[in-house]
C-alpha cells in the first residue's frame, strides 16, 4: 500500500466559492476504481493567528439523493421561517470582502 494511500485522490473537477470570510471548495475526486465522490471543504482564516482552519465532508455518489433532499428541506425550512438576506461578496487583492449586488446569472438553487 505505499505512499499513494496517504496522498489525496486525483482531482477531477473543482469549484471555489468565496463567501465573506469563508471559502467553500466543491471538489470531485476519483477512487482507485474510477468512481467519483465529492469533498466539501469550508476554509476560514483564524483572526488570532492567521491560520486557515478547514472542515471537510466526503460525500459518495450513493448518498447524493438523500443528502440533496436533506439539504433542500433544511434550506427551505430556514427560508420559510426567517428572512434570508443573500449577501454577495467580491474578493479584493488585500483579502478584504465587499458587498456587490446580486445579478440574474447568480443561481444558488439546488
User: What is the structure's pLDDT at 87?
Assistant: 73
In whole angstroms, give the CA distance from residue 28 to residue 13. Answer: 5
User: What is the structure's pLDDT at 20?
Assistant: 86
Task: Give the largest CA-CA distance in the chain.
Answer: 52
Low-confidence ranges of the chain (pLDDT < 70): 1-8, 88-110
User: What is the structure's pLDDT at 25?
Assistant: 97
Q: Domain extents for the chain?
A: 9-79
**pTM confidence score:** 0.67
CATH architecture of 9-79: Roll (3.10)
User: What is the structure's pLDDT at 110?
Assistant: 46
Amino acid at each position: 500500500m505505499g505512499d499513494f494511500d496517504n496522498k489525496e485522490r486525483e482531482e477531477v473537477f473543482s469549484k471555489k466559492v468565496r463567501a465573506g470570510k469563508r471559502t467553500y471548495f466543491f471538489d470531485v475526486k476519483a477512487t482507485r476504481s474510477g468512481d467519483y465522490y465529492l469533498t466539501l471543504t469550508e476554509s476560514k482564516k483564524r483572526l488570532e493567528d492567521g491560520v486557515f482552519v478547514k472542515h471537510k465532508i466526503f460525500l459518495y455518489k450513493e448518498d447524493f439523493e438523500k443528502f440533496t433532499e436533506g439539504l433542500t428541506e433544511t434550506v427551505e425550512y430556514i427560508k420559510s421561517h426567517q428572512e434570508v438576506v443573500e449577501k454577495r461578496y467580491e474578493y479584493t487583492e488585500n483579502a478584504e470582502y465587499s458587498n456587490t449586488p446580486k445579478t440574474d446569472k447568480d443561481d444558488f438553487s439546488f
